[in-house]
Amino acid sequence: MYRDEQFLSLCRDRSPFFRPLRESDILSPEQGRCVAKEIGAPYYETSVLTHFGVNEVFENVIRSALLARRQQRFWMTNLKHVQRPLLQVPFCPPEPRPPEVIVPPPQFEDDMLSLLHSQTYTDVIFLTGKVGFAAHKSVLSAVCNSLYKLFTLDLSSDATLGGRSASDSSVVSSSDSSVGNFNTDTEQLLTESPHSVITCASFCLSRSHHNANQNSAGESYHHGAVRRRSSCQIHPESAAHASACVTTGIRRILDHRAFQCISIERCEGLDHRGRVTSSIQTIVTLSKIITPGAIQSCLSFFHETLNASNCIITPN
């Protein structure tokens, strides 16, 4: 019928069957529930567009008619199991599409490389020759068991300023077998490349730390002449600094091929914003056989960014 041209012509504007739509012609669901409650009839909602509730209306109308007939003809057994009109299941909107989940590519290697070169919030400095390298204990302890034992060593229980003690050799006694001998062939594997970028520590070390290093190594350089690369300079030691958990000024000599001594000092340097800050650093002095290029390659390897061009392998 909705396709019949004659019927549509009667429903057009200014036709006898056309009446403008008024606001009172549309009933809201609240008004429909009130009317159904007044007359004591079940309330159902239907939709011509989605055909929601159409079948339920006819089914429940049939149930109501059969119940009325059962009251009139109560002796009929076939109407005994007729149910009452059921409640209508509420209309649920269609389920929305799940959000598109985009998993970004992993940035672990980039983050580790940025952590190595940014030099922010460091807590350990490796000194080799006249160069200092700042790093993070958490990263090094996670990848190297020997460094974990070194950083967890209790320095406050048996601190020494002079000779070695018998308990110092237990720091790395279990790792000596894995270190091996530092001969000439092994040293040639890691050499300092002139094109490599060496990240140095930007902290000022105290004068007492340099005095202890010179006494243990047998050097007689003047204090003002010894300077660390990249602003690792000597400054006069200020008053004693104390921390709630860490005590500064503790130093211990180690009986190891790679590490000479370890100490805890308060150093001054620049933070990630370029401001002068003071922090407690663990100073690890390396032996002379370890070059700056070697320790730089080791730190890069620990951060999974080893540059193969710095590893020159020469056949025997």
Rounded distance, CA 67 to CA 100, Å? 52
Domain locations in the chain as residue ranges: 5-72, 103-156+247-310
| Nearest Cα to Cα of residue 165 among 176, 149, 154 | 154
313 vs 51: which has the higher pLDDT: 51
- pLDDT band per the 50, 70, 90 thresholds, residue 80: confident
Query: Is pLDDT of 151 > 80?
Result: yes
Fold of 103-156+247-310: Potassium Channel Kv1.1; Chain A (3.30.710)
227 vs 132: which has the higher pLDDT: 132
The pair of structure tokens assigned to 262 is 């370890």
**Contact residues for 63 (Cβ-Cβ < 8 A; gap 6+):** 82, 83, 84, 85, 86
CB-based contact 126:150 (threshold 8 Å)? no
Tens digits of residue pLDDT in 223-281: 333 333 333 333 334 333 434 456 777 888 888 888 999 999 888 877 777 788 888 89
Among the listed ranges 108-117, 156-165, 221-230, 259-268, which one has the minimum average pLDDT value? 221-230
Tens digits of residue pLDDT in 181-199: 444 443 443 333 333 344 4
Task: Work out the burial of residue 237: count CB atoms within 10 Å of its CB; fewer than 13 is exposed, 13-18 middle, 19 or more buried.
Answer: middle
The pair of structure tokens assigned to 275 is 């401001």
Task: State which H helix or E strand residue 206 sits in.
Answer: strand 203-206
72 vs 9: which has the higher pLDDT: 72
| Phi (first) and psi of residue 210, to 5 degrees | -70, -35
- pLDDT band per the 50, 70, 90 thresholds, residue 303: confident
What is the chain's mean pLDDT, rounded?
72
CB-side exposure of 198: number of CA atoms within 13 Å? 24
Mean pLDDT to the nearest integer, 42-67: 88
Rounded distance, CA 161 to CA 213, Å? 10
60 vs 19: which has the higher pLDDT: 60
Which of 68-82, 123-137, 227-241 is most confident? 123-137
| Nearest Cα to Cα of residue 280 among 149, 162, 121, 106 | 121
As a residue count, the chain comes to 316
How confident is the model at residue 90, as a pLDDT? Answer: 84
How confident is the model at residue 26, as a pLDDT? Answer: 79
CB-based contact 175:149 (threshold 8 Å)? yes
